[in-house]
Amino acid sequence: MNLPSQRRWLLVGLSLIVLTNAVVLSAAALNRAGEPESSVLLSERELALPYATASRRSNSGLALHLEWRVATDGDTMRNLAYARYERQPDWLDETRMAGLGFDTRKGAATPEARQAFLRQLSRPALIVFELAGPAWQRALQQARENASRHAAAAAANRGNREFAEKAKAARDFVVQEEAESTRLFAIDAGSDTATLRERYPQRDRFLILRGTVRPAERLRNGQWALAGQLSAIAIQEIHVPYAQRGVLDALRSEPQEKPDRSVPRYEVQLAVGQRLEPWIERVALLPSDAPRAGPSRSSN
């Protein structure tokens, strides 16, 4: 390749880089134009630092991981814990899946009908997240009731190691729910932002984010039913602006593989823009005895 050709391809490459950066910056500006679609005060429980491994510490960038989960009707500790990873909420039923565009006409009466439903591709959806609301309160209550049952069983079987260990695990699970686990729950999904925002008007308590839903099935009381699973949200790793890094860099340097989140160490004001893309507005260190972050003001 001669020198003029090399220069021409170099100019083409540079032009593509400039164009790409311009598109990214324009999209970011459009997302942040005007008032945020929502702005919620979260804590370390909902926006977690990455584990402080050597490779991550050497990385010049920093992103916080958005921690969320779904509610479940299960009343055992195994079911309560499993719901965090299964992400198949009870509200995402056949009717809701049909509303999201999935074909549910064959129903769930036969294995063939269910397989036809399950073969459908995942679809994009708008997912509503609630902070420290009824879903979280139900999770707390379920954990406490579960602990009470195990405590009663251990008291009725004094000296039995198995019952004692289960009671302790249930107590520990309550502590985890009260002080450590995320309070951000996915509670609804739809396809239109305006409709969802009318249903959930509190912009400091409800986030609407883009995500993906895929077909699933569930067995309840011996009956199969069509359902859905929240397979992902579009942006779960949220970049920390350089100006906000100081608070978090000091925490990242602590010599521990996984942060102890029994008391949140920081709070984050998270905004979501017109394109439903989140960004961090502010990071602040919390004193050890500070009240936990949560809805702070009401805005419609």
Distance between CA 287 and CA 266 in Å, rounded?
A: 8
Are 72 and 80 in contact, with CB atoms under 8 Å apart?
yes
Residue 2's Cα: distance from chain center in Å? 53
Q: pTM to 2 decimals?
A: 0.80
Give the pLDDT score at 79: 54
Give the pLDDT score at 1: 53
Give the pLDDT score at 25: 47
Q: What is the pLDDT along the chain (300 residues), one digit of tens a residue?
A: 555 666 666 665 555 655 555 444 455 566 666 788 999 999 999 999 987 544 445 556 899 999 999 987 655 555 555 555 568 999 999 999 999 999 999 999 999 999 999 999 999 999 999 999 999 999 999 999 999 999 999 999 998 999 999 999 999 999 989 989 999 999 999 999 999 999 999 999 999 999 999 999 998 888 999 999 998 899 999 999 988 888 888 787 665 555 555 678 999 999 999 899 999 999 998 886 555 455 544 444
Give the pLDDT score at 283: 93
Are 263 and 271 in contact, with CB atoms under 8 Å apart?
no
Give the pLDDT score at 297: 42
Give the pLDDT score at 35: 86
Give the pLDDT score at 220: 83
Mapping DSSP onto H, E and C, the string for 40-93 reads EEEECCCEECCCCCHHHHCCCCCEEEECCECCCCCCCHHHHHHHHHHCCCCCCE
In 10 A of CB 63, how many CB atoms?
Answer: 17
Distance between CA 260 and CA 258 in Å, rounded?
A: 7
Q: Which residues contact 154 (CB under 8 A, 6 or more apart)?
A: 160, 163, 164, 166, 167
Q: With residue 265 as reference, give the H or E element that holds it.
A: none
In 10 A of CB 101, how many CB atoms?
Answer: 12
Residues found in the chain: 300
Ranges of each domain in the chain:
33-133+183-285
Give the pLDDT score at 298: 40
Give the pLDDT score at 8: 63
Name the packing angle between helices 134-156 and 77-86 (round to 10°): 150
Give the pLDDT score at 244: 86
Give the pLDDT score at 14: 58
